[in-house]
Amino acid sequence: MSAFVTNLDLYCALKSGGAGFKNTINLYNILVERIGIELSSEDISIIKSFCHNFTSNISKRWSASSRTQKTFLNQNSHWLESEIVWPKCKNIDLKNVFNVNTDEDVSTIGTEEVDVYQSSSSMHKKLFKELSDRQKKRRSLTLLDHSEEELVHALCAKLKLSNKTKLATIIKELFQNEEKCEIVDKLLFTHNTEKLCLPDDKTLALYTSCNLSKLQYRNLRFILASENIFVLSSYQKLLETKKTCYPSEGDITVTESGVKIRLQSLLDLTINRILKAAQTARELCLRALHNVLSAAVGTRRAHARLLDKQRRVRSIVHGMRLCLRALHNVLSAAVSTRRAHARLLDKQRRVRSIVHGMRVRGEPQQNIDDVLETLTPPELAAVAGAERRLRQLAAAELELDRALFLLACYGAFPR
């Protein structure tokens, strides 16, 4: 007969029964079986009352510890180690009865308690995969006391025992090199819905250089698509890209004798395409240099020189862009000024030609003055303002050309 000295002994007895802590009858049957003698009705009622009070007390403590073995033992360690307060019966002394035990029972009581708990818990414990997320979190709380290295090592060892060596190797490699997690994240969780396709300009260059017809281009695109190669854009998008290489329809005038195109629209188109091509080429070159120097070892000084060159080139390109835009504005203003005063400028040019011929022939000054008077004072003032404006624009154009030349030289020969 094993002894019941502390509350821990009764706790282990209830756990071994597997009926829960609220089952008063289970505890009563355990005690009566251990007593082994016939009890009176009064003693039976006293023992049942004790069993009811004990099961109520321990069930409350079990609920307060979230029904977790480790938490229950930590919170109630003092109560479990305290002696049992047995009730006083008329015909039997329960304290003396349950304090008597053999040496074999004393030597094996600790292992019996552990084995009984493990066997009972394994019988009623659900599989981890059958639990909900909240239950999984509650059951795995005891694992949080271990370090990350211990958990990873244990996981890899368990996977190797399950013949999952590759998975264990991958987990260990990712744990030791966290920067590689970004590669795995891009491959597994980043879904790139955009198809790899040639830029519109390169597609148009391929179309024009090979002199393909509409049918040939569509057949080529269909054959590549059948091999899961989606590198060519649609023919409709190709036509839209082709339209960007020409002035807009509003700037083109078609007559019976020919076609007229606004000069300003051609200038706009040329400047925009030059800026776009220069910016794209500059970005590609700088990105390639940056990747080469970043991949090398011990190139901090070279990388610093690269960054300085990038800043210098960026400043040069920005200055050239401003100069090109200013030059575009100057040319546009000159074209608009000549167009607004085209009639007066042409009239003044013809008058000056006539006056020059009269002076060469030696005609009287009165006749020359009569020809000059064909230009009225308002017309003379307007023409003078237009010429002054054109001279200023011409001077600005020369200065901008000079600035562009100096910036280009500084970019090509920085030293």
> Around Cβ 156, how many Cβ atoms within 10 Å?
19
Q: What percent of the chain has a predicted confidence (pLDDT) above 70?
A: 83
Q: For the ranges 26-30, 67-71, 102-106, 196-200, which has the lowest average pLDDT?
A: 102-106
Residue 1 banded pLDDT, cuts 50, 70, 90: very low
Closest CA to 221 of 231, 211, 236: 231
DSSP, res 84: P
- Inter-residue contact 310 to 282 (CB < 8 Å): no
pLDDT tens-digit profile of 270-313?
A: 777 776 766 666 676 666 666 666 655 555 666 677 777 777 78
Helix (H) or strand (E) holding 260: strand 259-261
Pairwise pLDDT comparison (163 vs 97), residue with the higher score = 163
Q: Which pLDDT score is estimated for 112?
A: 44
Strands (E), 250-345: 252-254, 259-261
The CA distance from 312 to 318, in Å, is: 10
* 100 alpha carbon, distance to own chain's centre: 70
pLDDT tens-digit profile of 205-253?
A: 888 888 888 888 888 888 888 887 878 888 888 888 888 888 887 888 8
Please determine, for residue 347, whether its predicted confidence score (pLDDT) is greater than 80. Answer: yes
Q: Which pLDDT score is estimated for 100?
A: 58
CA angle 242, 244, 245 (to 5 degrees): 70
- To the nearest 10°, report the CA torsion of 192, 193, 196, 201: -120
Q: For the ranges 41-55, 154-168, 255-269, 314-328, which has the lowest average pLDDT?
A: 255-269
The CA distance from 278 to 314, in Å, is: 11
Residue 19 banded pLDDT, cuts 50, 70, 90: low
Q: What does R_g of the chain's alpha carbons equal in angstroms?
A: 49
Residue 119 tokens, joined: 């066997």
| Average pLDDT, rounded, for the chain | 79
pLDDT tens-digit profile of 172-184?
A: 888 888 888 888 8
Q: Which pLDDT score is estimated for 261?
A: 81
pLDDT tens-digit profile of 95-129?
A: 777 775 444 443 344 444 444 444 444 445 677 77
At how many degrees (to 10) do helices 377-412 and 342-361 cross?
100
3-state secondary structure of 302: helix
Q: For the ranges 42-46, 87-91, 192-196, 317-321, which has the lowest average pLDDT?
A: 192-196
Closest CA to 53 of 121, 7, 19: 7
Please determine, for residue 89, whether its predicted confidence score (pLDDT) is greater than 70. Answer: yes
Q: Report the DSSP pairing between strands 259-261 and 252-254.
A: antiparallel
